[in-house]
Chain A
Amino acid sequence: MGGLQKKKFERGSATNYITRNRARKKLMLSLPDFRRLCILKGIYPHEPKHKKKVNKGSTAPRTFYLLKDIRFLLHEPIVGKFREYKIFVRKLKKAYGKTEWSAVERLKGNKPTYKLDHIIKERYPSFIDALRDIDDALCMCFLFSTFARTGKCHVQTIQLCKRLTVEWMNYVVAARALTKVFLSIKGIYYQAEVMGQLITWLVPYQFSHDHPTDVDYRVMATFTEFYTTLLGFVNFRLYHSLNLLYPPKLDSKAELELKEENEDDYAMNSECYIEKLSALSATLARVVSTAEEEEAQLDQFPVEGEDMERMEAREQEQRKQEVQKKLFEGLKFYLNREVPRESLAFIIRGFGGEVSWDKSAYIGSTYEVTDETITHHIVDRPNIDKQYINRYYIQPQWVYDCINSKIRLPVEDYFLGVTLPPHLSPFVEEKEGDYVPPEKMKIMALQRGEKPAQNQEDEEEEEEEEGEDEEEEEDDNEEEEEEEEEEEKAEEKNLKKMEDQRSQGKSLQVKVTPGKLKVENPARLEQEEKAEEKRLAIMMMKKKEKYLYDKIMFGKKRKVREANKLTAKRKAFDDSEKAKKKKTRK
């Protein structure tokens, strides 16, 4: 047919992508500005499916952006602001150089600024989209709010982060949205369910940071800039969904209570309010001051195709959640001064408990140690001098474990000076064949409503037996194969012996030995047959499928191996513990 010869790399995937440098040139931005723009607009490189085609035949490592993304950036008003800022910096430098202080003042007064509202609207067209992506924003804001007010970033940023995180925590408390907490070595993980979205964030422990030198704080600051804006809008919306005032105001009743104390001792007047908010001890003011919002009974709409059982199960689930939300209702906690106040106050209030602390430790305490109605006193030291009779003195882990197990656990294991039971991650969901630590089994039994066995040792033994059973089951298949191999080996050995004898020229000793009846287990035979069938079928697999199959099986085997290893380790540990106990008894 003739026609023009098609040129390479002029259509198809090669034209859909653009390298980073070319994108930068197209946008006429410096690399740091380009990065900032990418961070703010959420543009990220794409890995093309056929890299060589996109790279025009070269195999050099390059990062590719979608051309559409870059075209989209071209119309961004913030790019203009970046340029303005560049000019501003240049002018300012010039004025400094000429020591024209009035010019410096004037320039500083007209420093170009930009707003990110439209970008947030663009990136998250609906509120749920924004909620879905709020995890990183929360982590970052919580980290920045713990920074010292000097050095690494602007004080305003830190203050804004602090304000936003406090608002967020207040919302979670007000909405009773918290579901899981986890004390890890990195920090404290919280998980909340907000409007059907599971949101997880990590808060570092309250220590000053050892700022690493190999971290680019400008990048982090740009992210924070975006995240604070996002979190602010999300907070606004969330507060309004609960009919709360935004910016948050303390309930007038609560405010009066708090006012009695001399506020000047704690903070400057400007910071006092946010400090009081961050104390989390008071309820927030509502737009419509309904005394108690009545529990709206949800009407049941049977979904078609859904049978009654499933609906019932769902109902039960809901009821359970309701119960969990009121886990600490009616309890009064008192925090000793060495426990992490913010975290504990947050979670106790998040589950309906009342909490207070020493007046000198932080602003916003509501009652004294001497209060007779305190039910739980949380202490993190080996012993305490003055103890009241009508309250439990427990370690902080109790609160966290209760929340994760969704029931009030027995307090005996958490008394002062007692070796604590292990703290388990609530985020692990064991599937069939995974290793389940015995502590988890115990908690699951408690959740089902079973009473813990009277004698602890009995229980332990039982558990051990169970564990062994499991192991056996797991090992069953492997063992069979091994047995087979062993049999074959034995046979082979016999034959070999005979062969040797013959080759040595000895005549076989004629000897009649009583034969053994070989008991054939029909079930076993069948199983073997099936196994062989499977093995033969596997041989006939196509190369691709075989590869995939091998990979899957390898993964499965590794899982089993790891689980076995953990059980073995646990068993060894338990044995050594037992031996120790015996020794001490003797």
Chain B
Amino acid sequence: MEEQSRNMRSSNEQTEKMKKAREKTTKRSKEEEKEEEEEEIFNFKNKPAEEKEEEDDDLSDSEESVFSGLEDSGSDSEEDDDDDKEEDDEDAAEEGDGSDEVTVESQNNQQTEEKTKKKKGGVTGQQQKDEYEQDSSDEEDIRNTVGNIPMEWYKDFPHIGYNLDGKKIYKPIRNKDELDDFLDKMENPDYWRTVHDKQTARDVVLSDEQVDLVNRLQKGQFGDVNFNEYQPTVEFFSNDVMIHPVTNRPADKRSFIPSLIEKEKVSKLVHAIKMGWIKPRRVDDDSRGRFYDLWANEDSSILANHKMHLPAPKTPLPGHQESYNPPPEYLLTEEELAVWEQQDPSDRKFPFVPTRFSNLRQVPAYQRFIHERFERCLDLYLCPRQRKMRVNVNPEDLIPNLPKPKDLQPFPTTQSLVYRGHSGLVRSISVSPTGQWLASGSDDGSVRFWEVCSSRCMKTVQVGGAVKSVAWNPNPSVCLLAVALDSVVLVLSPSLADRQVVSSSERLLSGEQESTEEAGPVTWSDTEEEEQSQGIRLKIQHPKAVHQVVWHSKGDYLASVMPDHSSHLQVFIHQVSRRRSQNPFRKNKGLVQCVSFHPVRPYFFVATQRSVRIYNLVKQEMTKKLQANSKWISSMAVHPGGDHVICGSYDCKLSWFDLDLSTKPYKMLRHHKKAVRGVAYHRNYPLFASASDDGSVIVCHGTVFNDLLQNPLIVPVKVLRGHVITHDLGILDVTFHPTQPWVFSSGADATIRLFT
């Protein structure tokens, strides 16, 4: 084989040489160059392989593989690359198995052989027609043998390379400068077709054909003028059945043996169908959209008797304001619109703004239509439902049926008299047991005595301090008044009665003085001349400020209250005839607000903040504790029968206790708008009154029945107004006339009013 190829090659060479000689052109064909290179390749086989080996030693295998991978795509036309590859392969082989050169060589030989075969074809072509006759490619120019290198390398040398014979090619002596160039440009008519050849450093003037070729290549046409671009295609694979096979290969065995893989697949499918994993394609039934008479035989199923089912409420029907052309009164004004926009969407009365369109074609689509439908959907399936009883009550039926106030007369109805004279708020008033006189104590430091019927002020006593409480002695045979101010309780004898009565009261006061030595917390003392003349008879000095004084119904005992959180000295009971005082309680049970004596029995009522305690004075024990259900009791009154108590509290409530029933209030009355300050029972009539900071006195009818079965009947009968509210204080005290159905009230406006 080798020999053959060599022979062939030598013959090639010979023909080439002959050709060269014959043509004597400066340019050569590609083929020629290729062949020369191939020669070199053959040389490589022996010599430069070792050199390469050394060079490539430092290259890692992976890099090589990368290289080879990249250059794999190279086609046969790129001979250089191909050769490189061969070399690489060779190297790799050598690296791989040391001295196994024979195989490598044989490989190489094979390759070269193939190539030469190709060349043969090319050569024969050339022989037929010298198509490279006019080939003027500079690349193959071998006048300069330096090869394809940048010519700058020869910049500093006088020569630019070597010719075929190994002689130096010298640069032209004189280099062209700019000026020469310019002159040349101006004068030389062939300047435009002159090309500088860097390799030979000479100017070449292109021939007409060459210029033509350049032009055509620039246009993207084929270099050959005679080449027909649009040759009819000859289809290699066509629908025509050819008599000969394309390849001469015999048919594979597998082409006539049934496929095992397919068999496996089929059997799998069969198995899957058998097992029901794959279902045969369902016949599309259109029964989904087909309707029939569903309710042909109506039977009440279980759900019908489902008691807990709550049908969804229907959407409310639209009103006039939803119309596209609503009456003008339903449109929003600007302020209303502003309010609508300010409101939270959930607070709005309508979710839309009523708008008016003058005709139907102007009505736009409603933006929130889908939203609202969606919200309805959410309501239907997400909203918890609950059955709610809607009250369908006539409000008139709710009003209790009470006896008419007209039938419950007498009771005070109109304001008839106003007692003016005080300059400060009047804290306390009291009516004499005869009903002729009225005493009042005020913050201006005076106690005034009024004639009830004429509203004349009969007497004014300056006591020198804000009067907290006044109380007229209920015993009609004496005429005494207890006054509480600061920490003193004064006993006045106003001498506004018969001489007998006055003298009897004097006698009571000047009773024995026995216990002066007992230096208790309370000291009794007579008054001096000056005060005597005013009518002040006794002074009972207390350790702390006194807020309230109360007489026992017999008129001998007197109780005083000194509210204090921290001590048990809050209540004192004084006996006037003996000038004796005692503290009935050993323990502090809370802040005492007010106290009262039972009208007939020896009981004592003490109202603390939240409750009322009832003590038996004889047995000296607590009998009852009433829970007032209010925050802070302000006042208390005991029914003349002694079985009922009312308590006013600062949280606007009035509680009525029936002592026979329970310790909880029998009735809570929330009539007042503000704190209740005073409560009072009438001594004879079934009336009670409450006074409050809202400036009203409410008179109620409260019949107490003698038989225990019937509960008291409580009916409010009159709301009396008249007092002016000053400094948020309205009426401070209220009291009934002992015999007439009249009620007195004293207020923060420094007046006392009588309602008859």
**B325 partner residues in chain A, CB cutoff 8 A:** 183, 397, 420, 422-423
Chain B 365-379 interface residues, beta-carbon cutoff 8 Å to A: 365-367, 369-374, 376-378
Asked if A552 and B303 sit within 8 Å, CB to CB, the answer is: no
C-alpha gap A123/B311 in the complex (Å): 11
Asked if B295 and A39 sit within 8 Å, CB to CB, the answer is: no
Question: Nearest chain B CB to A375's CB is how many angstroms away?
Answer: 20
Known: A115-B287, A573-B328. A237 touches B399 (CB 8 A): no
**A168 partner residues in chain B, CB cutoff 8 A:** none
Taken residue by residue from 276 to 297, chain B's Cβ proximity to chain A (1 for < 8 Å, 0 otherwise) reads as: 0011011000011101111100
Q: Which of B145-153, B186-194, B352-360 contacts A (4 or more CB under 8 A)?
A: B352-360
Q: Which of B38-46, B400-408, B679-687 contacts A (4 or more CB under 8 A)?
A: B400-408
**A412 on the B face (CB < 8 A):** no
Chain A 531-558 interface residues, beta-carbon cutoff 8 Å to B: 532-543, 545, 548-549, 552-553, 556
**A380 on the B face (CB < 8 A):** yes
Asked if B324 and A437 sit within 8 Å, CB to CB, the answer is: no
Asked if A45 and B383 sit within 8 Å, CB to CB, the answer is: yes
**B716 on the A face (CB < 8 A):** yes
**What number of B residues sit within 8 Å (CB to CB) of A?**
91
Dominant secondary structure of chain B at its interface with chain A: loop
Known: A548-B391, A566-B330. A396 touches B399 (CB 8 A): no
Q: Which of B230-238, B314-322, B486-494 contacts A (4 or more CB under 8 A)?
A: B314-322
Known: A182-B323, A502-B420. A63 touches B384 (CB 8 A): yes
**B399 partner residues in chain A, CB cutoff 8 A:** 534, 537-538, 541, 549
Partner of A184, one of B318, B381, B385: B318
C-alpha gap A438/B370 in the complex (Å): 34
Nearest chain B residue, comparing its CB with the CB of A233? B294
Q: Which of A303-311, A314-322, A356-364, A424-432 contacts B (4 or more CB under 8 A)?
A: A424-432
C-alpha gap A212/B378 in the complex (Å): 16
C-alpha gap A124/B298 in the complex (Å): 10
Asked if B282 and A339 sit within 8 Å, CB to CB, the answer is: no
Asked if A183 and B323 sit within 8 Å, CB to CB, the answer is: yes
Partner of A187, one of B292, B366, B724: B366
Taken residue by residue from 357 to 393, chain A's Cβ proximity to chain B (1 for < 8 Å, 0 otherwise) reads as: 0000000000000000000000011000000000000
C-alpha gap A483/B380 in the complex (Å): 52
Asked if B320 and A533 sit within 8 Å, CB to CB, the answer is: no
Q: Which of A131-139, A261-269, A449-457, A513-521 contacts B (4 or more CB under 8 A)?
A: A131-139
Taken residue by residue from 108 to 139, chain A's Cβ proximity to chain B (1 for < 8 Å, 0 otherwise) reads as: 01100101010011111111011011011001
Question: Nearest chain A CB to B453's CB is how many angstroms away?
Answer: 20
Asked if B329 and A540 sit within 8 Å, CB to CB, the answer is: no
Asked if B361 and A381 sit within 8 Å, CB to CB, the answer is: yes
**B344 on the A face (CB < 8 A):** no
**B51 on the A face (CB < 8 A):** no
Asked if B715 and A499 sit within 8 Å, CB to CB, the answer is: no
Asked if A47 and B385 sit within 8 Å, CB to CB, the answer is: yes
**A194 on the B face (CB < 8 A):** no
Q: Which of A3-11, A201-209, A272-280, A281-289 contacts B (4 or more CB under 8 A)?
A: A201-209
**A423 partner residues in chain B, CB cutoff 8 A:** 323-326
Asked if A183 and B324 sit within 8 Å, CB to CB, the answer is: yes
Asked if A45 and B384 sit within 8 Å, CB to CB, the answer is: yes
Q: Which of A213-221, A249-257, A294-302 contacts B (4 or more CB under 8 A)?
A: A213-221
**A68 on the B face (CB < 8 A):** yes
**B384 partner residues in chain A, CB cutoff 8 A:** 44-47, 63-64
**A200 on the B face (CB < 8 A):** yes
Partner of A135, one of B279, B315, B371, B374: B315
Asked if A186 and B299 sit within 8 Å, CB to CB, the answer is: no
Asked if A233 and B291 sit within 8 Å, CB to CB, the answer is: yes
Asked if A106 and B278 sit within 8 Å, CB to CB, the answer is: yes
**A395 partner residues in chain B, CB cutoff 8 A:** 359-360
**A110 partner residues in chain B, CB cutoff 8 A:** 279, 281-282
**B168 on the A face (CB < 8 A):** no
C-alpha gap A121/B297 in the complex (Å): 11
Chain A 492-513 interface residues, beta-carbon cutoff 8 Å to B: 492, 496, 499, 502
Asked if B317 and A200 sit within 8 Å, CB to CB, the answer is: yes
**B304 on the A face (CB < 8 A):** yes
**A246 on the B face (CB < 8 A):** yes
Known: A44-B383, A205-B365, A427-B319. A219 touches B324 (CB 8 A): no
**A160 on the B face (CB < 8 A):** yes
**A443 on the B face (CB < 8 A):** no
**B327 partner residues in chain A, CB cutoff 8 A:** 422, 424, 437-439, 570
C-alpha gap A249/B399 in the complex (Å): 65
**B183 on the A face (CB < 8 A):** no
Asked if B363 and A185 sit within 8 Å, CB to CB, the answer is: yes
**A339 partner residues in chain B, CB cutoff 8 A:** 360-361
Known: A185-B352, A207-B365, A536-B405. A397 touches B385 (CB 8 A): no
**A26 on the B face (CB < 8 A):** no
Asked if B420 and A499 sit within 8 Å, CB to CB, the answer is: yes
**B385 partner residues in chain A, CB cutoff 8 A:** 44-47
Question: Nearest chain A CB to B455's CB is how many angstroms away?
Answer: 13
Nearest chain B residue, comparing its CB with the CB of A127? B295
C-alpha gap A175/B172 in the complex (Å): 115
**B228 on the A face (CB < 8 A):** no
C-alpha gap A567/B324 in the complex (Å): 20
Chain A 58-74 interface residues, beta-carbon cutoff 8 Å to B: 63-64, 66, 68
**A569 on the B face (CB < 8 A):** yes
Known: A66-B308, A381-B361, A548-B391. A573 touches B329 (CB 8 A): yes
**B300 on the A face (CB < 8 A):** yes
**B369 partner residues in chain A, CB cutoff 8 A:** 143, 186-187, 204, 209
Nearest chain B residue, comparing its CB with the CB of A568? B329
**A85 on the B face (CB < 8 A):** no
**B497 on the A face (CB < 8 A):** no
Question: Nearest chain B CB to A260's CB is how many angstroms away?
Answer: 31
**B393 on the A face (CB < 8 A):** yes
**A35 on the B face (CB < 8 A):** yes
**B714 on the A face (CB < 8 A):** yes
**A353 on the B face (CB < 8 A):** no
**A292 on the B face (CB < 8 A):** no
Question: Nearest chain B CB to A41's CB is how many angstroms away?
Answer: 10
**A133 partner residues in chain B, CB cutoff 8 A:** 311-312
**A132 partner residues in chain B, CB cutoff 8 A:** 311
Nearest chain B residue, comparing its CB with the CB of A156? B289
Nearest chain B residue, comparing its CB with the CB of A62? B384
Asked if A424 and B323 sit within 8 Å, CB to CB, the answer is: yes
Nearest chain B residue, comparing its CB with the CB of A109? B281
Known: A125-B299, A130-B295, A205-B363. A115 touches B288 (CB 8 A): yes
C-alpha gap A560/B524 in the complex (Å): 69
C-alpha gap A135/B315 in the complex (Å): 9
Taken residue by residue from 241 to 255, chain B's Cβ proximity to chain A (1 for < 8 Å, 0 otherwise) reads as: 000000000000000
Question: Nearest chain B CB to A161's CB is how many angstroms away?
Answer: 12
> Which residue among B282, B303, B724 has the maximum number of chain A CB atoms within 10 Å of its CB?
B303
Asked if A419 and B373 sit within 8 Å, CB to CB, the answer is: no
**B425 on the A face (CB < 8 A):** no
> Which residue among A43, A64, A184, A397 has the maximum number of chain B CB atoms within 10 Å of its CB?
A184
C-alpha gap A483/B401 in the complex (Å): 28
Q: List 9 A-B contacts (CB under 8 A).
A: A39-B380, A109-B281, A113-B288, A184-B318, A189-B318, A209-B370, A215-B374, A539-B716, A573-B329
Chain A residues near B (Cβ < 8 Å): 35, 38-39, 43-47, 49, 63-64, 66, 68, 106, 109-110, 113, 115, 117, 120-127, 129-130, 132-133, 135-136, 139-140, 143, 160, 182-187, 189, 200, 204-205, 207-212, 214-216, 219-220, 223, 232-233, 235-237, 240, 246, 338-340, 380-381, 395-397, 419-420, 422-425, 427-428, 437-439, 488, 492, 496, 499, 502, 529, 532-543, 545, 548-549, 552-553, 556, 566-567, 569-570, 573
Q: Apart from A44-B310, A437-B320, what 12 extra A-B contacts exist at CB < 8 Å?
A: A106-B278, A121-B295, A186-B318, A186-B322, A207-B365, A209-B370, A237-B295, A425-B322, A427-B319, A437-B327, A499-B420, A570-B328
For the complex of A and B, the 3 pairs showing the least CB-CB separation, nearest first, are A207-B365, A427-B317, A47-B386
